[in-house]
Structure 1
Amino acid sequence: MANPYEGMQEWVQQLPEIVQPLGVAVAATVPYIEGEGAAGIGIILGINPVVAALAAMIGNFLSVLAVVVISSRVREKVVAGRVGGDGPADPASTAPSARRVKGQRRLQGWLSRFGVPGASLLAPLALPTQLTAAFFAASGVRKERVLFWQAIAIVLWTGVIAALAAGLVGFLGW
């Protein structure tokens, strides 16, 4: 089978070696691409599978870290505002999409049923890790706990997809 990615692979290989994993890490910060997608894309484009997976994991985790820190601070201010009597802003002004609401309901069910560990490991099936982490932090789960379990989920899912992508690339001879 002919390699449909040959031109892109040649272009990526011409980039400096330090830029290749940085591109994967940046791609991993994008919700719905995340570590899994970024690692798979990097591997298909000819980046060493271990380098692509590690860069994707780091990029995805750094974006989750930023979301958790921001979400925790926002939650603290909202809770402090309720105690002080100011109250939160009108929730109708920031109504989420139907798809997002459905994913959040599914995530809430997983959180109730499996706790933070199980929900963190299952959540990538419903929502990006950034949204999951924001939901957990906004729900009052400790930052350290959210980050710990999100890191495990990122490593697990990215590792599985990277292994599958590397196997596929090897099998197809790309």
Structure 2
Amino acid sequence: MMINDTVATAPDTASVVSAVSGVASAVSSAVSGVISDLQHQVDALPPVLQFVAVFVLAVVPVIEGDIAAGIGMVAGVDWEFTFVAAAGGTALAAWAGALWGSRITERRRSRTLPRDDAGAAADTEDAVDVVPSRRRAAADRILARVDRYGLGPAMVLCGFVSPVGLNTFVLAMAGFDRRRLVVWGVVSAVLNVGIVVAGTTGVLHLLLH
């Protein structure tokens, strides 16, 4: 009796697997078609315009290089253009964040001189307070990672989970050297964008070939 039950359920299992496979194939075909159509439209645009579009997206703090790189690759922009534009836009955002944060810190210091240790410690608190409330948790995490790993590794790690421009801004407000922040911001941008470009290339190869 048990053998008959097992045999009877086998076709049902096979049909479920077949149905799931068919749905997955249909979804993959639909996504491939949409991506192919989008890439054909983007191919008609001048290469300079494609580069500028990815660069501008990468400068926006909420988007930055990783998302901009993913959009550029899916849209069919050459990977070289995508990589340079996305990394360059993120590097610009990192420079702007470090410059803005350091200037705010310098102004506060000039208003409160002479300063004591308590005043210096207040810079770290200001680094969090100046950030909008929805970003304060991210600012706290950035400062905590710097305390744990050091500036360079923390910048690289934080670059995968929060905007590089925000990272440099918060750390500049906390008193870190602006030049070092820009250097590590560029390193973070290159690593983030490189990983996204490589990963997206592999996924697109599976979908479109």
What residue number does 1:96 align with?
A: 132
Runs (4+) of structure 1 exceeding 3 A deviation are none
Count residues with an aligned counterpart. Answer: 169
Moved more, 10-19 or 139-148: 10-19
Alpha-carbon RMSD across the aligned residues, in angstroms, is 2.2
Out of 75, 93, 96, the residue aligned to residue 105 of structure 2 is: 75
In structure 2, C-alpha distance between the alignment counterparts of 1:5 and 1:168, rounded to whole Å: 12
Residue 140 of structure 1 aligns to which amino acid in structure 2?
A: G
Q: CA deviation at 1:94?
A: 6.1
Bigger Rg, which one: 2
C-alpha distance in 1, partners of 2:112/2:47? 51
Q: CA deviation at 1:160?
A: 0.3
Q: Find out whether 1:135 has 2:170 as its counterpart.
A: yes
Secondary structure, in 3 states, of the residue corresponding to 1:145? helix
1:26 is matched with which residue?
56
Q: Is the 8 A contact 1:106 1:126 kept in 2?
A: no
The counterpart of 1:120, out of the listed 151, 155, 170, is 155
- Shift in Å, 1:11: 2.2
Q: What TM-score does the superposition give when structure 1 sets the normalisation length?
A: 0.88
* Identity of matched residues, %: 30
Per the alignment, residue 37 of structure 2 pairs with: 7
CA distance in 2, matches of 1:102, 1:47: 35
Unaligned runs of 5+ in 1: none
Higher helix fraction (1 or 2): 2
Query: Given the alignment, which residue of 170, 173, 180 partners 1:145?
Result: 180
Per the alignment, do residues 108 and 162 of structure 1 end up closer, same or farther by CA in structure 2, a change over 3 Å counting? same
Query: Can you list the C-alpha shifts for 1:73-113, whole angstroms capped at 9, x where unaligned?
Result: 1111111111179x99xx8x96732x412111111110101
